[in-house]
Amino acid sequence: MDVFKQLKDYYWPERRLLAASIISLICATALGLVYPLMLKTLIDDAILGGQFDLVPTIALTVVGVVILKGLLQFVHGFFGGRLGNRVAYRLRNESYKKLQYLSFQYYDKAKTGDLMSRLTADLEAIRNFVGFGFAQILNMILMVLFGGALMIYINWQLTLITFVTMPLLALTALRFEKRIHPAFQEMRLAMSHLTTAVQENITGVRTVKSFAREPHEVGKFSERSEEYKENQIRAAKIWGNYFPVMELLASLCIVILLVAGGTLVINQQLLLGELVAFFSLIWYIVSPMWGLGFHINNYTQSKASGERVLELFNQYVHVKNDERAVTLEDEKVKGHVCFDKVTFSYEGKQPALKELTFDAPPGKVIGLLGGTGSGKSTVSQLLMRAYNIQEGQITLDGHDIRKIDIASLRSQIATVFQETFLFSASIRDNIAYGINEVTMDEIIRACQLAKAHDFIMELPLGYDTVVGERGLGLSGGQKQRIAIARALIKNPRILFLDDATSAVDMETEHEIQAGFRELMAGRTTFIVAHRISSLRHADEIIVLDNGEVIQRGTHEELIAVPGHYQDTYHIQYADRPVQSNSVDGDGKERRVAH
């Protein structure tokens, strides 16, 4: 019961419901003892003793017991159901809360299908056991004790004879539990694999269809389904071996009773009514022993599920607040960011950044250029403390970010990722996601800056249009512009654009950048891009390769010297004359060939 000891905080606050459920079930079970006594009285006193006037009393007593027992069972079901649901509610909320605060390191390895299985099937198994399974096991024990006590009261010698097989029944049940628990652990794991396969297929359905890999996915799912089926069959075999043994032992108990009890009745050492009552009590005891396998099954499933839930609860949160973390005051934040010899590597991999050093004063624009895996996106991940750096220091306005409250730090940063995610909600809600209170005028203004207002107004319901899961129904560029608007409306001191315009055309990119320049005024901005056109206006451009700085300077400085930046420029503008930007008197940027 160690698993349930660790989960005590989630069901113990509802101990009144647990007590009410158990007490009502115990009372209902105790009333079951009335039937054997009524049988004994009916046969020995009313029928054989000639006291026929007892029959109506016995009948009314039985009817009353049936009604009262039914009411008590209803009370047990009502309170047990409420108990199970409240416990599942607490566990579900705690599980979801834990998932919200787990670090990126956990999600780098976690599988969505497995997490979904923990929050659904595993919690359902725990709910069933806490609500009903525990009370049923306790009830089973009490049935054996109550029934055994009444049997001893009637005839202790016959009781000892008929109880010969009881230790064998208990031993068989215990052996069954030791075998069935690992089987259910494997079954739960196989179910999570199956759920993961479904989730990944649905998420990547466009990739599957674009490569015509439907047969491959069907085969992969069949393998997962086969794994789950084999685990179910393995558990079923254990069950199949268990039931015949239990039936044999129970039948042996009945045979012993009939032979020994019949002999005592013939020798007038036992009344016929007492034998019938004994026979009824044997089933009263054997019945819960017979169902011991079901209760062990219920307990084992919930135990395996509890272990998986506790595994989630016990996950270490790598990124968390310092005990003396400070909260930033919005009006005092300037946005001065410094990286001082920052080194970082993902688990088991080469360093993503090696002693990266740069200074980003308030209002400056820092461009980051480099190939895939050069460490550009890692800069944003470290700045928002998605991961903890291993060496060096990152400061914001002179404060080590590790000493700043995480929520306070992230409230000053708005990031637009290359991979855009939209919730299954209205466009208005998606844009306003990052802040609590926002006006419609502010939403429209952000969308105008992100060049999203026009296409939104062409949608059937405008800003109230509900986008599908992951933004389905919108083009990649449209989703990206909504994500940009979502970042702009946050009004951050630090803006991080991680290839934020990669999914839009060059003309739209140019228009969005014009809106950015208006918003960037007074804000520290980081731009990660593969297009040099996105970085030309940056105050400093840092070129990364394998986590190291290989070049840095302004666009004019870098274009003038041989190196990675100049090579990239020539590749991207191979078919064009060299261009520079100038600004007309009306503030519009134009390009001049030279």
| Residues 456-514: tens digit of each pLDDT | 898 888 888 888 655 557 877 788 888 888 888 887 889 888 876 665 666 666 666 66
Tens of pLDDT, residue by residue over 362-373, are: 989 999 988 877
Least confident of 15-19, 209-213, 448-452: 209-213
- Considering only residues 22 and 590, tell me which one the structure prediction assigns the higher pLDDT: 22
Q: Exposed/middle/buried for 253, CB within 10 Å: 0-12, 13-18, 19+?
A: buried
- The two tokens of residue 395 are 């400061």
pLDDT at 471: 55
Residue 221 pLDDT exceeds 60:
yes
The ranges assigned to domains in the chain are: 2-313, 362-384+406-593
Q: Which of 157, 127, 139, 167 is nearest to 4 (CA)?
A: 127
362-384+406-593 shares the fold of 2-313: no
Place of tokens 């390895």: 109
Dist. CA 23–CA 18, nearest whole Å? 9
Confidence of residue 396 (pLDDT cuts 50, 70, 90): very high
pLDDT in tens, 113-147: 788 888 888 888 888 888 888 888 888 888 888 88
Predicted confidence at residue 233, as pLDDT, reads 86
Q: What are phi and psi of 444, to 5 degrees?
A: -65, -40
Distance in angstroms (rounded) separating the CA atoms of residues 76 and 126: 18
Residue 420: per-residue pLDDT:
77
Compute the distance between CA of residue 53 and CA of residue 40 in angstroms, rounded to an integer. 15
Region label for 172, one of left (φ > 0), alpha (ψ between -120 and 50) or beta (otherwise): alpha
Three-state SS for 135-146 is HHHHHHHHHHHH
Q: Which stretch of DSSP H or E encloses residue 165? A: none
Contact 524, 394 (CB under 8 A): no
At residue 1 the predicted structure's pLDDT band, cuts being 50, 70 and 90, is low
- Which of 222, 227, 234, 218 shows the shortest CA–CA distance to 191? 227
pLDDT value, residue 594: 35
Residues 568-593: pLDDT tens digits? 888 877 655 544 444 443 434 444 33
Give 509-533 pLDDT, tens digit per residue: 666 666 666 666 778 989 888 778 7
35 closest CA partner among 146, 121, 120: 146
- 346 by Cβ neighbours in 10 Å (0-12 / 13-18 / 19+) ranks as middle
Residue 386 has pLDDT above 90, yes or no: no
Render 78-132 in DSSP notation, one character per residue: HHHHHHHHHHHHHHHHHHHHHHHHS-HHHHTT--HHHHHHIIIIIHHHHHHIIII
Mean pLDDT (the chain, rounded): 82
Q: With cut-offs at 50, 70 and 90, classify the pLDDT of residue 348.
A: low
Residues 6+ apart with CB under 8 A from 334: 362, 397, 493
In CATH terms, the superfamily for domain 2-313 is ABC transporter type 1, transmembrane domain (1.20.1560.10)
CA–CA dist 248, 467 (Å, integer): 62
> Distances from the Cα of 173 to the Cαs of 148, 187, 285, 307, in angstroms?
19, 20, 15, 22
Pull the structure tokens for residue 573.
Answer: 């503008």
Q: Which of 346, 312, 379 is CA-nearest to residue 108? A: 346
Residue 68 in this model has a pLDDT that exceeds 90: yes
**What CATH number should be reported for the domain whose range is 362-384+406-593?**
3.40.50.300
> Phi, psi (5° rounding) for residue 524?
-80, 125
CB 121 within 8 A of CB 283: no
Of 339, 353, 325, which Cα lies nearest the Cα of 409?
325
Radius of gyration of the chain (CA): 36
Write out pLDDT tens, residues 544-555: 988 889 989 999
% residues pLDDT > 90 (the chain): 11
The pLDDT-based confidence of 262 (bands split at 50, 70, 90) is confident
> Do 327 and 405 touch, CB atoms closer than 8 A?
yes
Mean pLDDT of 224-228: 86
- Angle in degrees, 0-180, between the axes of helices 440-449 and 476-488, rounded to the nearest 10: 120
Q: Residue 583's pLDDT is what?
A: 40
Pairing of strands 589-593, 413-416: unpaired
CB 485 within 8 A of CB 455: no
Alpha-carbon dihedral 362, 335, 492, 554, rounded to 10 degrees: 40
Between vectors from CA 140 to CA 134 and to CA 143, what angle results, nearest 5°?
140
Q: What's 426-490 look like in SS3?
A: EHHHHHHHHCCCCCHHHHHHHHHHCCCHHHHHCCCCHHHCECCHHHCCCCHHHHHHHHHHHHHCC
DSSP, collapsed to helix, strand or coil, labels residue 355 as strand
| 332-361 mean pLDDT | 88
Q: Which of 274, 282, 280 is nearest to 250 (CA)?
A: 282
Split at pLDDT 50, 70, 90, the class of 177 is low
Query: Does residue 393 carry a pLDDT above 90?
Result: yes
**Residue 210: half-sphere exposure toward Cβ, Cα within 13 Å:** 4
Q: What confidence score (pLDDT) does residue 513 get?
A: 66
